Structure 1
């Protein structure tokens, strides 16, 4: 059996609400995890937001859309530096996760182990 990756361990810790895991809004976490492309990225819940990164260690990629919200209402934001920051508002967690997927760059994922920027030849 293959050993779990850092990304898989992190998702499992968040989903199971393990001690020491960064915890986020359960409905948002579960909706994001249900999306295979998001499940391949490194999840980083913080300050009411669920961020996704292309890598597993600081410094983070910080170039992907993220979700802020709860089981009742979510907003999806573009990464910092994008002029149109709000991509969608008043969304269910499932709609928010799908919107993030729709705005991922081509070739995004799975996350690689290490800091940003990626090693040469790891991302095309």
Structure 2
């Protein structure tokens, strides 16, 4: 399955549920897309989660170091990268998106994280 080449295309494929592309929980997709900081990251739905990458996936690495959402709730769980720490359990996708935003690292090399 081909991946979207850039962040705007990835979001468009998710929101439009483009056939042949990765799909995720539509409620979580809409709630995270509503957050400007998350809209600037590459959405990566996989195995019941929605992860956020700093750029489109490549063989050079995905920079998978950001918090992510475990879908299928409620509750919706938000973890740090690698399931290292449970940041919280919330009842709505909007709360989950806000929790991810609240735990994004400040990163001067990634303008999307500083909006």
Which bin holds the TM-score, normalised by the shorter protein?
Answer: 0.7 to 0.9
Q: SS of 1:14's equivalent?
A: helix
The structure in which a higher percent of residues are helix is 2
Tell me, in whole angstroms, the C-alpha distance in 2 between the residues paired with 1:16 and 1:109. 26
- Identify the structure with bigger relative contact order (alpha carbons < 8 Å, sequence gap 6+): 1
Give 1:64's aligned residue: 66
Q: TM-score, normalised by structure 2?
A: 0.83
Q: Is the 8 A contact 1:43 1:52 kept in 2?
A: yes
Give 2:101's aligned residue: 101
- Name segments (4+ residues, structure 1) moved above 4 Å: none
Which of residues 65, 77, 81 is equivalent to 1:79? 81
Distance 1:104 1:87, change over 3 A: same
Q: TM-score, normalised by structure 1?
A: 0.77
- 5+ residue gaps, structure 2: none
Deviation at 1:57, TM superposition (A): 2.1
Root mean square deviation of aligned Cα: 1.9
The structure in which a higher percent of residues are strand is 1
Q: Is the 8 A contact 1:53 1:64 kept in 2?
A: yes
Number of corresponding residues = 105
Tell me, in whole angstroms, the C-alpha distance in 1 between the residues paired with 2:6 and 2:32. 17
- 5+ residue gaps, structure 1: 112-124
1:23-62 map, 5 Å: 23-58=23-58, 59-62=61-64
Q: Which has the larger radius of gyration?
A: 1
